[in-house]
Amino acid sequence: MSDNIYHRISGKENGVRIESRVLEEKIQQAVADGRRFIEVQAFGQHGIGGRLWRAGDDTVTVRIGGYPGQRVGAMGYANTTVEVLGPASDDVGWLNAGARIVVHGNASNGVANAMAQGKVYVAGNIGARGMTMTKHNPRFSQPELWVLGSVGDYFGEFMAGGVAVVCGVDAQDPENVLGYRPLVGMVGGKVFFRGPIKGFSHADAKLIPIADADHRWLVENLAHFLEAIHRLDLLKSLSERRQWQLLRARSAQEKSGRRLTSMAEFKNQVWDAELGRGGLIGDLTAIERGPIELVPSGEMRRFVPLWENRKYLPPCEGTCPTGIPVQERWQLVREGRVDEAVDLALAYTPFPATVCGYLCPSPCMQACTRQAALMAPVDVKQLGRASIQAHLPELPPLSGKKVAVIGGGPAGISVAWQLRLQGHEAVIYDLSEVLGGKIATLIPSTRIPVDVVSSELERIRKVLPHVHLQQEMRREDFLQLAADYDFVVIATGARKPRILDIPGAERMLTANDFLAAAKHNDARIGKQVVVIGAGNVGCDVASEAFRLGAEAVTLIDVQEPASFGAEREAAEAAGAKFRWPCFTQKIVAEGVKLSDGEILPADTVVISIGDVPDLGFLPETIATERGFVTVNEFGQTSDPRVFAIGDVVKPGLLTEAIGAGRRTAEAIAEMLAGKRPTTNLRQVIDKKRITLEYFDPRLTEFEDLDHCGSQCSSCGACRDCGVCVNICPQAAISRVEPDGGGYEYVVAADKCIACGFCAGACPCGIWNLVENDPID
């Protein structure tokens, strides 16, 4: 093309460089004036050759000599061809929107940055960050960058579209035609290259085979490129397909699917391979360590439920000095076996009606779990009174072993009774005219119907036919008994009244004498009575005194009276007055003179400050302390074949005397069998384990035995209610009946998750959640 068609514009005027703005105005004016071939002599001006929209559809050619500044062809239009005759500065074809730009020398950094359409041809090498942030707008054909030599560092950074072709001819770096870290952040487009490279961003791009279509496109367009830079001589050598490689951007899906070794693979192939089977501590432990679920069943449960039926004593039984299984009796009642419930008592006491039904202050009821929730305790008195009907069990044949029991009160009868139930002969020796001790002789008939006592004594005589009454006991008698019998049990009680050693003591009546006489209604009593000693016996005295005609009874004590229960209530109801502290100085004709000088007027003065044992018959081999016999937990004295029980050991309740007799009988039976005596090691259940929410808290009275039984929570003993089976969320609990009889509740470990619901719901406190055995 002839040079003279070019309109020449110089970058200098009058020898002075003109501003980029002025040069731009000249170029734009020339285009507006219809010039379509423009030659610019550049002196570093910016952005030459871009934005020539004023030419409309006409093509415009801008030829640039001299030294173009940055951004040649920036924002170039599709109608424009820019030709730089020498090298070019930075950002050739910046934001190119369609121009064809040919650089006949090298181009520095930023070639084709942000190019969207058009072509940039470079006949040499280019600097850093070429073909960066280029795009392909689907409305137009894709942009192209052709470089004959090599490209600088960070080539194709953030490239989002278009094609770059790097021919590698006379490369600036023959070892690496794509520069350092090319294609970082590339998301679109392709790069053909020819020659060695030193890596590219594998996270963003991948090498792909050159398809036939790719190669056709390459060769076809290579001809245009080489023609534009006047190097068609290279066409043949550059067309050789196997010298080319092709990179393309990874798709978003390919990027997210970036293949890293999975941790499982790493564990198997690297970790365990280096450390050995079982990993870090496979040499130290064989414990399985794979993941388990949060709420496991079976062996991996942290806790396990245990059906602890009868492991602990119910509070009633545990508190009863006699040891009667109260709860078990109520269970029999609930099961409709009232007769058995009644009869069961005789295995524990010869006085179930007399004591349980009337005279006992009932520690079992005080201990009843229901009391803890301020609910009325199950009424054992009803069961006690019903026991008058209890049937004797069949007595076993006699073993030939014989035990002498000195004393026919509740303790002596109890031990003899129990021995006989075990098949040993027990012979009672008593001083009194009647069997029964204080029950028969001293306790007022107002507190216990006479027929109840006599009925039970009758039953006792059937079991114990050998009773020697009115037997004085001297030391030699005792020694003879010890010689004649296998064992001797001392149960003589405390029958010697304590009296005060004060002037006028002879004017006093002892409580025992008074009560014994009162029992036969032949006690003489004045109108005004003072009772010294306001304990329960004193209360009995007061009640009896009123019954026999007294008008005023005053009970005095040196401290707050210890009397309680039925005795106290009866005395108060009859009108007795209690005074304390009162210290008696002497007894005078007018009454009781206190240490402060006051005289309490009295026709009759009764002393009731306790009784002490009469131990005159004991040999020195039997140790005593302060007037009472010393014993161990089985009632055994310092003579191993002699036992002592009841008030002769320590003053106490009737039930305590009966219980002592039972324990001693058990010990003797065991010793007779050649064994060491043992104690019951079962502990009383923790009341917190019992659930009382199943019962009516407003209940204050029990209609009958069945009603009582239904309200017993059956502490520590399964009542077979089945709550656990139903509350268990895993259906892990079932009721089974073993061949040996009875029933039990069992847990299927493979179902149980140890939630503890069974323990929480159980009314009886049977289920317990305990820690599982450690895995170590």
Q: How far is the CB of 292 from other proteins (least distance, A)?
A: 4
Provide DSSP, 540-591.
HHHHHHHHTT-SEEEEE-SSS----HHHHHHHHHHT-EEE-S--EEEEETTE
Question: Residue 687 gets which letter from DSSP?
Answer: G
632-691 residues in contact with other proteins (CB under 8 A) are 688, 691
Applying CB under 8 A, among 181, 447, 586, 650 the residue interacting with other proteins is: 181
Q: Which is nearer to other proteins, 184 or 516 (CB)?
A: 184
Provide DSSP, 46-67.
SSTT---GGGTTS-EEEEEEEE
- At 293, the amino acid letter reads E
Q: How far is the CB of 302 from other proteins (least distance, A)?
A: 5
Does 770 engage in binding with other proteins (CB under 8 A)? Answer: no
Q: Which is nearer to other proteins, 109 or 664 (CB)?
A: 109
Q: Which is nearer to other proteins, 140 or 266 (CB)?
A: 266
Q: Report helix, strand or coil for 166.
A: strand
Q: Which stretch binds other proteins (CB under 8 A): 316-324, 367-375, 390-398, 541-549?
A: 367-375
Q: How far is the CB of 186 from other proteins (least distance, A)?
A: 9
Q: Which stretch binds other proteins (CB under 8 A): 439-447, 585-593, 663-671, 692-700?
A: 692-700
Report the distance separating Cα 531 and Cα 162, nearest Å.
Answer: 124
**Size of site (CB under 8 A) for other proteins:** 63
Q: Which stretch binds other proteins (CB under 8 A): 53-61, 76-84, 178-186, 228-236?
A: 178-186
Contact status, residue 300 vs residue 291, Cβ threshold 8 Å: no
Question: Residue 636 gets which letter from DSSP?
Answer: B
Q: Which stretch binds other proteins (CB under 8 A): 23-31, 368-376, 598-606, 615-623?
A: 368-376
**Strand-by-strand arrangement of the 402-406 sheet:** 467-468, 425-429, 402-406, 487-490, 642-644
Q: Which stretch binds other proteins (CB under 8 A): 13-21, 510-518, 614-622, 756-764?
A: 756-764
Report the distance separating Cα 63 and Cα 69, nearest Å.
Answer: 14
528-549 burial, b for 16+ CB within 10 Å, e for fewer?
A: bbbbbbbbbbbbbbbbbbbbbe
Q: Which is nearer to other proteins, 309 or 730 (CB)?
A: 730
Q: How far is the CB of 502 from other proteins (least distance, A)?
A: 44
Identify the CA nearest to 732 among candidates 294, 291, 312, 296.
Answer: 296
> Encoding tokens for residue 439?
């029950």
Question: Residue 436 gets which letter from DSSP?
Answer: T
Query: E-strand spans in 46-176?
Result: 60-67, 80-84, 97-103, 117-122, 144-147, 160-166
Identify the CA nearest to 491 among candidates 645, 642, 350.
Answer: 645
Applying CB under 8 A, among 694, 704, 722, 746 the residue interacting with other proteins is: 694
Q: Which stretch binds other proteins (CB under 8 A): 151-159, 537-545, 585-593, 742-750?
A: 151-159
Q: How far is the CB of 394 from other proteins (least distance, A)?
A: 44
- At 740, the amino acid letter reads G
214-273 residues in contact with other proteins (CB under 8 A) are 260-261, 263-264, 266-267, 270-271
Contact status, residue 126 vs residue 147, Cβ threshold 8 Å: yes
Does 731 engage in binding with other proteins (CB under 8 A)? Answer: no
Contact status, residue 349 vs residue 357, Cβ threshold 8 Å: no
Q: How far is the CB of 127 from other proteins (least distance, A)?
A: 12
* H/E stretch holding 657: helix 654-672
Q: Which stretch binds other proteins (CB under 8 A): 467-475, 488-496, 627-635, 722-730?
A: 722-730
Does 760 engage in binding with other proteins (CB under 8 A)? Answer: yes
Report the distance separating Cα 450 and Cα 381, nearest Å.
Answer: 17
Q: Which is nearer to other proteins, 378 or 753 (CB)?
A: 753
Contact map string, positions 276 to 295, toward other proteins, x by CB under 8 A = x--xxxxxxx-xxxxxx-xx
Residue owning tokens 């003109």: 18
Q: How far is the CB of 9 from other proteins (least distance, A)?
A: 32
Which residues, 6 or more positions from 717, have their beta carbon under 8 angstroms from its beta carbon?
309, 310, 314, 327, 328, 331, 764, 766
Q: Which is nearer to other proteins, 283 or 476 (CB)?
A: 283
Does 302 engage in binding with other proteins (CB under 8 A)? Answer: yes
Applying CB under 8 A, among 1, 16, 374, 483 the residue interacting with other proteins is: 374
Q: Report helix, strand or coil for 475.
A: helix
Q: How far is the CB of 377 from other proteins (least distance, A)?
A: 16
Q: Which is nearer to other proteins, 59 or 730 (CB)?
A: 730
Report the distance separating Cα 663 and Cα 668, nearest Å.
Answer: 9
Q: Which stretch binds other proteins (CB under 8 A): 152-160, 425-433, 538-546, 660-668?
A: 152-160
Q: Which is nearer to other proteins, 86 or 185 (CB)?
A: 185
Identify the CA nearest to 608 among candidates 556, 566, 559.
Answer: 556
507-536 residues in contact with other proteins (CB under 8 A) are none
Rg (CA), the chain: 58
Identify the CA nearest to 535 among candidates 515, 507, 506, 505.
Answer: 515
Q: How many CA atoms lie within 13 A of 68 on its CB side?
A: 37
Rounded to the nearest 5°, which phi and psi values hold at 750? -75, -10
> Encoding tokens for residue 28?
């734009």
- At 415, the amino acid letter reads V
Does 776 engage in binding with other proteins (CB under 8 A)? Answer: yes
Q: Which is nearer to other proteins, 157 or 656 (CB)?
A: 157
Q: How far is the CB of 713 from other proteins (least distance, A)?
A: 12
Does 745 engage in binding with other proteins (CB under 8 A)? Answer: no
Q: Which is nearer to other proteins, 259 or 676 (CB)?
A: 259
Does 174 engage in binding with other proteins (CB under 8 A)? Answer: no
Q: How far is the CB of 276 from other proteins (least distance, A)?
A: 6
Q: How many CA atoms lie within 13 A of 13 on its CB side?
A: 7
Q: Which stretch binds other proteins (CB under 8 A): 136-144, 274-282, 580-588, 666-674?
A: 274-282
Q: Which stretch binds other proteins (CB under 8 A): 177-185, 378-386, 490-498, 658-666?
A: 177-185
Contact status, residue 605 vs residue 553, Cβ threshold 8 Å: no
Q: How far is the CB of 756 from other proteins (least distance, A)?
A: 5
Applying CB under 8 A, among 693, 701, 737, 739 the residue interacting with other proteins is: 693
Q: How far is the CB of 716 from other proteins (least distance, A)?
A: 17
Q: How far is the CB of 745 from other proteins (least distance, A)?
A: 16
Applying CB under 8 A, among 757, 764, 765, 766 the residue interacting with other proteins is: 757
Applying CB under 8 A, among 500, 727, 748, 749 the residue interacting with other proteins is: 727
Q: How far is the CB of 767 from other proteins (least distance, A)?
A: 10
Query: How would you classify the pairing of strands 599-601 and 591-594?
Result: antiparallel
Report the distance separating Cα 627 and Cα 614, nearest Å.
Answer: 8
Applying CB under 8 A, among 235, 275, 479, 594 the residue interacting with other proteins is: 275
Query: How would you classify the pairing of strands 577-579 and 584-588?
Result: unpaired
Does 501 engage in binding with other proteins (CB under 8 A)? Answer: no
Q: Which is nearer to other proteins, 261 or 521 (CB)?
A: 261
Q: Which is nearer to other proteins, 258 or 626 (CB)?
A: 258
Residues of this chain that interact with other proteins (CB under 8 A) are 154, 157-158, 181, 184-185, 201, 204, 260-261, 263-264, 266-267, 270-271, 274-276, 279-285, 287-292, 294-296, 300-302, 372-374, 688, 691, 693-694, 696-697, 727-730, 753-757, 759-761, 772, 774-776
